[in-house]
Amino acid sequence: MLTAVIRASGSTRALAATFAVLIPAVAEGFLGHAVVVDTAGELDIERIADATGASYLRAASGEGWLLGAQQARGDMLLLLDAGDVPQLHWVQALERHFLLVPDRPALLPLRGVAAGLRERAAISFGGSRLRAGLVAPKAMVMAGRLGKAPVRLSARRERAG
């Protein structure tokens, strides 16, 4: 089962944009659970998490994904920042990845040339770090490092305000 771990830093609009894309994946049975890690301590963030059925945690910004991973129900995690909006066919891209190489981390890269170049550089120079857009087994996220650099998926993600 896949769990989305979402770091929210105060923008309810950004979190709502992310959930708008994730909720259909829940209805399809692909996404089983979501954990919202609030790094800003906003009451409205907690309300959105509650309204969507997601688990809610407060944490310092540096420990967000680790604490979220501890609360995750699934064996595979999708790490997102509030405002990350996976594009069309992201579910199919992940399903294919899980069939072909389920133990290898993957990345839903940011859309756009500049963002893509920054992510490619991050993979080249620090490819084993946790970051938004990453899909990885829970054990790897809990360890804080990936065994290998992630595979870039064909589906992309955008950033909403």
Residue 153 confidence (pLDDT): 94
**Domains in the chain: boundaries:** 2-159
Please, which pLDDT band fits residue 3 given cuts at 50, 70 and 90?
Answer: very high
Residue 32 confidence (pLDDT): 95
140 phi and psi, to 5 degrees? -65, -40
As given in the structure block, the two tokens for residue 140 are 């790897």
Q: Decide yes or no: CATH 3.90.550.10 for domain 2-159.
A: yes
Residue 118 confidence (pLDDT): 52
What does the pLDDT look like over 118-156, one tens digit per residue? 555 444 444 557 889 999 999 999 988 788 889 999 999
Residue 123 confidence (pLDDT): 46
Q: What is the pTM of this model?
A: 0.89
What does the pLDDT look like over 95-125, one tens digit per residue? 999 999 988 999 999 976 545 555 554 444 4
DSSP character string of 23-84: HHHHHTTSEEEEEEEESS--HHHHHHHHHHT-EEEE--GGGHHHHHHHH--SSEEEEEETTE
What does the pLDDT look like over 18-62, one tens digit per residue? 999 999 999 999 999 999 999 888 889 999 999 999 999 998 767
Residue 18 confidence (pLDDT): 96
Query: Distance (Å, rounded) from C-alpha 58 to C-alpha 64?
Result: 8
Residue 124 confidence (pLDDT): 43
